[in-house]
């Protein structure tokens, strides 16, 4: 094997190793996101194209502070719900006419644009509400739920407290 063939083979092996490391990191992040859910049924990971589309829609819909966090203070409506539970949150969404079976998107704060590559998952809002206590108890990463229709966001930053804004 000549030197150029060896070099090409080494570059290919290094590229495969980097792809495996990236995939392992993505699976770890996905595992963190899905940990609070009692069942994974009805949850889908977005492909790169759909994730990009949803990020663009999020950026156009929700104010962002210097690409670090969502600026919910600039939203027209903002409600903090302490001591969350499924019934309380479901009633809130019904009262505010936000409850829907349309899909919503769960993502980690660290995945805010422009450099993000972490997974987003798609599920019905009812799935979020069903496991809201476990989601709100998570302390690892701030998480968000984005609904494109009707447009709203749920913020999970403090344990046992959510913020809903639209």
HSE-CB for 156 with a 13 A CA cutoff = 27
Contact partners, residue 147, CB within 8 Å, separation at least 6: 98, 100, 102, 104, 105, 125, 153
The number of distinct structural domains making up the chain is 1
Q: State the average pLDDT for the chain.
A: 87
Mean pLDDT of 31-52: 90
- 77: containing domain: 3-165
pLDDT of residue 30: 87
Read off the pLDDT of residues 66-114 as tens digits, 9 standing for 90 and up. Answer: 656 788 888 899 999 999 999 999 999 999 999 878 899 998 876 555 5
Q: Is the pTM of this model over 0.85?
A: no
Strand order in the sheet with 121-124: 44-45, 121-124, 103-108, 143-148, 151-156, 161-165, 78-82
């Amino acid at each position: 094997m000549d030197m150029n063939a060896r070099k090409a083979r080494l570059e290919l092996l290094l590229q495969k190793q980097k792809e495996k490391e990236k995939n392992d990191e993505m699976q770890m992040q996905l595992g963190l996101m899905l940990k609070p859910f009692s069942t994974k049924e009805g949850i889908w990971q977005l492909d790169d194209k759909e994730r990009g589309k949803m990020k663009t829609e999020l950026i156009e819909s929700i104010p962002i502070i210097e690409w670090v966090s969502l600026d919910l203070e600039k939203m027209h409506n903002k409600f903090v719900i302490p001591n969350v539970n499924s019934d309380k949150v479901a009633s809130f969404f019904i009262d505010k006419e936000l409850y829907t079976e349309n899909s919503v998107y769960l993502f980690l704060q660290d995945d805010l644009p422009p450099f993000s590559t972490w997974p987003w998952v798609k599920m019905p809002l009812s799935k979020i509400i069903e496991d809201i206590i476990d989601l709100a108890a998570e302390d690892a990463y701030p998480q968000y739920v984005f609904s494109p229709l009707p447009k709203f966001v749920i913020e999970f930053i403090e344990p046992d407290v959510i913020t809903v804004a639209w």
